[in-house]
Amino acid sequence: MRIAVFASGSGSNFAAIMEAAKAGRLKNIEVALLVCDRPGALVIKRAEQESIPVFSFNPKEFTDKQAYEEMILEKLKDFQVDLIVLAGYMRLIGVTLLSSYSGRMINLHPSLLPAFTGKDAVGQALEYGVKVTGITVHFVDAGMDTGPIIAQKTVCVENGETKDSLSLKIQKMEHELLPEVIGWIADGRVELNGRKVEIR
């Protein structure tokens, strides 16, 4: 299975995917492309160090979302991408990509969805005062973090927890769960029926 990783920042989850692949924990997987909407992002350097092809773009240089998504779609076709993995990609996916990759696009979000969607999920959880938060890997649909849930893991919020300390705990768990889910999909173990996801 050929995957494209979409990322906007440092790329720690991209690095975790690459590490899992090199360690043999991700079999039948090839990272075919990195897509980044911030040309100066650290994730691009990570991809170049791994000799992974990169497509970076500045959305402000396009008339609208459809225009840059059409260009992304052409790249995905060129690299014969089977699965899109959103790993810290900070843009809502539009109809152009959704229509071509429905059921073949997953996202990682730092909360137990449906709680704390959108930006700053860690900060939202702390402000709300929850005792448990976590991470979610889900299929992508037209909403913001509303797609069918594939897997979740919990993280306890300790007394005196800060945004930095909680983010570190969440990130560590992300690096374990995201490659695992990609492996399930590559092995044909994930079945999507409406909003229900079954792991075989």
The total of other beta-carbon atoms located within 10 Å of residue 72's CB is: 23
Show the tokens assigned to 5. 């990783």
The total of other beta-carbon atoms located within 10 Å of residue 20's CB is: 20
pLDDT digits (tens, 9 = 90+) for 166-189: 999 999 999 999 999 999 999 999
Show the tokens assigned to 153. 């893991």
CB distance 179 to 12 below 8 Å = no
Catalytic site residues? 109
pLDDT digits (tens, 9 = 90+) for 67-106: 999 999 999 999 999 999 999 998 999 999 999 999 999 9
Furthest-apart CA atoms within the chain: distance in Å:
50
- Give CA 183 to chain center in angstroms: 14
pTM, two decimal places:
0.95
Contacts of 40 (CB under 8 A, 6+ apart): none
Show the tokens assigned to 64. 């609208």
Contacts of 22 (CB under 8 A, 6+ apart): none
CB distance 84 to 6 below 8 Å = yes
- Which residue ranges make up each domain of the chain? 2-199
* CB burial of residue 23 (10 Å; 0-12, 13-18, 19+): exposed
Rounded Cα gap, residues 20 and 178, in angstroms: 10
Contacts of 63 (CB under 8 A, 6+ apart): none
DSSP SS3 for 136: strand
Residue 27 confidence (pLDDT): 84
Please give the CATH topology (third level) of the domain spanning 2-199: Rossmann fold (3.40.50)
pLDDT digits (tens, 9 = 90+) for 24-78: 888 889 999 999 999 999 999 999 999 999 999 999 999 999 999 999 999 999 9
